[in-house]
Structure 1
Amino acid sequence: MKLQDELPTDHKLATVYRLGAAVCGGILLLFGSLGFADQLSFFNTTGAKVAGLSTNGLLSLISVLVGALLVAGAVVGGNVASTLNMTVGALFLLSGFVHIFILDRPANFLDFGMSNVIFSFVMGLVILTFGMYGRVTGGLPHDNPYWRRRHPEKAAREEARRSLAPLASADRVTGDGKRPSGPRG
């Protein structure tokens, strides 16, 4: 089974996915653009700061590309935005962990500082949360489109039960139009 097989194609949660991708993508585009505006060297690791974060030209380029990707996902919306948010969020978290270990080492070619690591963790969690919202949990309500897609037999039984409920209450009405007073077995 593929992940996409479980996803409904049209649901009200798409607005959450779009909003998350657009806001986070906009923040990354702004950060990357400010780095380009400062005309930073591409591989400079001397500690140039933009918006309180260490950066260089390469990190600015990556920020602009990832921001544009998130904004494009927001334009497409739906399951694409959700899956993209989850993927990018996970990559941000992974980047935070990797950069913790290479701080103050020659391998730190993106010029990450501790503030960048914290930003990477926070942004990763925010993007990941937007992508997973209403999609991943053990207690999804039964009217959630993801629950219905994952449990089609149960959803069909509940739908049938709901459609038969008015008929069952109509059967309880007696011939004189009154409901019986006791429980029926």
Structure 2
Amino acid sequence: MATHAAPTAGRRSPRRTVTRLDKHLPVDFRLNRVYRVGAGLMGLVLLAFGILGLINEIGFFSTGGATVAGLNTNGALSVLSICVGLLLFIGMVIGGNFASTLNMILGIAFILSGFINLALLGTAYNFLAFHLQNVLFSFVVGLMLMVFGMYGRVTGGLPHDNPYWRTRHPEEAAQEMLVNRKATTPPMPVVRRK
């Protein structure tokens, strides 16, 4: 015989806490610099590649084998690189969790792009004129963006002063805060009467 207690109308069931990673990170937190630098560096690389591709006046969907900095390119790939580079610069300016999330999303997009374009090599559907070196570049940029975006945010060993750890472990963080407050509060002086 199962003994299940029926929920009562006045009692609330415990709600599951949802971690919102975009609200609790302070603007001046030290990880913000990592997110901004990552977005800025990768944005600069992509912007330079795209501008150099447009300066060479390559056809928009040309697959003739024009190269810029050792990578094949065409007009479409150059414009796409400029757009993504500008998006990363916007992430750098905004900073914080926006830059971190943008780095992670674009990193995943670059890795997927590498796999998709690897499958399209040598076919008529290779509109962006990718070659193997472009695929490898896409993988490297994707991994770099993901590292910059996930830094200090996704790991099993976050320090306990990290806001991501505190959000994921609210009970333990409250206990540690209480212990730290007691440890830093000086004892009350003893007043003796004469």
More helix by share: 1
Match for residue 174 of structure 1? none
- Residues paired across the two proteins, number: 173
Q: Compute the displacement of 1:121 (Å).
A: 0.4
Q: Does 1:139 align with 2:157?
A: yes
Q: Deviations along 1:6-59, whole A, 9 cap, x unmatched?
A: 742432100000000000000000000000000110000111101100000000
Residue 125 of structure 2 aligns to a residue in which SS? coil
In the superposition, the TM-score normalised over structure 2's length comes to 0.83
Pairing partner for 2:80 from 56, 62, 87: 62
Q: Compute the displacement of 1:151 (Å).
A: 1.6
Structure 2 residue runs of 5 or longer lacking an equivalent are 1-17, 189-194
Q: Deviations along 1:121-173, whole A, 9 cap, x unmatched?
A: 00100011000000001111111111112222211110100111245x859xx
Pairing partner for 2:136 from 108, 118, 123: 118
**Aligned-partner residue type, residue 65 of structure 1:** C
Structure 1's consecutive aligned runs of 4 or more residues displaced over 6 angstroms after TM superposition are none
CA distance in 2, matches of 1:3, 1:108: 39
For residues 70-149 of structure 1, the aligned pairs below 5 Å read 70-149=88-167
CA distance in 2, matches of 1:50, 1:103: 18
In the superposition, the TM-score normalised over structure 1's length comes to 0.87
Match for residue 27 of structure 1? 45
CA distance in 2, matches of 1:166, 1:56: 63
Pairing partner for 1:53 from 50, 54, 71: 71
Q: 1:4 to 1:165 in 2, by over 3 A?
A: closer
**Aligned-partner residue type, residue 163 of structure 1:** R
Q: Compute the displacement of 1:4 (Å).
A: 3.7
Match for residue 25 of structure 2? 8
The answer to whether the 8 Å contact 1:6/1:146 transfers is no
The answer to whether the 8 Å contact 1:73/1:81 transfers is yes
CA distance in 1, matches of 2:119, 2:20: 32
Q: Does 1:150 align with 2:171?
A: no
Q: Which deviates further from its counterpart, 5-14 or 39-48? A: 5-14
Q: 1:3 to 1:97 in 2, by over 3 A?
A: farther
Q: 1:128 to 1:166 in 2, by over 3 A?
A: closer
Residue 159 of structure 2 aligns to a residue in which SS? coil
CA distance in 1, matches of 2:107, 2:81: 13
CA distance in 1, matches of 2:88, 2:24: 19
Report the RMSD for the aligned CA atoms in angstroms.
2.1
Q: Compute the displacement of 1:67 (Å).
A: 0.2
**Aligned-partner residue type, residue 39 of structure 1:** E
The answer to whether the 8 Å contact 1:21/1:127 transfers is yes
